[in-house]
Amino acid sequence: MADDLLSQLRQMTTVVADTGDIEAIRRFQPTDATTNPSLILQAAQQEARRDRLAEIARRAADLDDALDAVAVEIGSEISELVPGYVSTEVSARLSFDSGATLARARSLIERYGRHGVGPERILIKVAATWEGIRAAQQLEREGIHTNLTLLFSFTQAQACADAGVTLVSPFVGRILDWHRARDPEADFDGERDPGVRSVRGIYEHYKGHGYHTVVMGASFRNSGEILALAGCDRLTISPALLGELAETRGTLERRLVPLDAETRTPEPLDEAEFRWHLNEDAMATEKLAEGIRKFMEDQRKLESLLGELRRG
């Protein structure tokens, strides 16, 4: 009998858990784990964490201090369960401020250090805006690894590779959402999924030009999208879909295979080119803005929770 699909996927792709749920991470034993403001909010709302959150909130200098303390505490717990990277996100409020992003990222790394977690274990997540990419480029020069998130377009992916970021997280499911909303009768299964096609194009471009930036598909709506990207460098997957893959048997075919690198890389995009090409892509422009707003919505909920706990 064939192995389960999750076991086969692990043989060709690094499996990453897209969650802040400690029990789910224990169950699926991923190599890495990613978090974001929405996932940190879910973890923080667990009743078992309430007393500890209250303690953090009361000791914090302000809400920003409390937010980062909570994210790093949860990230540090996760780091004890995974052998690889833990991704922790800079506030979405700073998505268009390179200087503030740099300061916040350095602060997060310092906080992890006080928890005994070295910078080699952390990926600082930054939105793939022009300002976020510039901040990430500087962080990489300082030896701080970055994960560029909310990535919906080839333009963003090209600029991230130009900047030498460690990893990009192209979003599959949110691209599909946009296209389905505009053409609900279309068949977007398998290879026709526009999110899958986007990640495949980025992967082939990176491998074909010898970029070292890791491609990690993210934001999956169904297991079919994951199977269509088998062989991608990394895939970050929710506990629900990890469970589905673990319970399903069959033969998994590798779909993404590295190409021989060409000797010449394209000219880097400048700011005007980046902004123009992104503006021409309605889907990427809309989903990037929406993603930043959504992360901020959940961050504000966490701020409200911590504010209540500070007041006791």
Catalytic positions are 125
The Cα–Cα gap between 165 and 137 comes to: 6
Rounded alpha-carbon distances, angstroms, from residue 145 to 61, 94, 140, 164, 284: 27, 18, 6, 10, 24
Rg (CA), the chain: 19
The torsion angles phi and psi of 11, rounded to 5 degrees, stand at: -75, -15
Class of residue 300 by CB neighbours under 10 A (exposed 0-12, middle 13-18, buried 19+): middle
Determine how β-strand 32-34 pairs with β-strand 14-18: parallel
- Residue 29 Rama label (left phi>0; alpha psi -120 to 50; beta): left
* Residue 310 C-beta-side C-alpha neighbours within 13 Å: 16
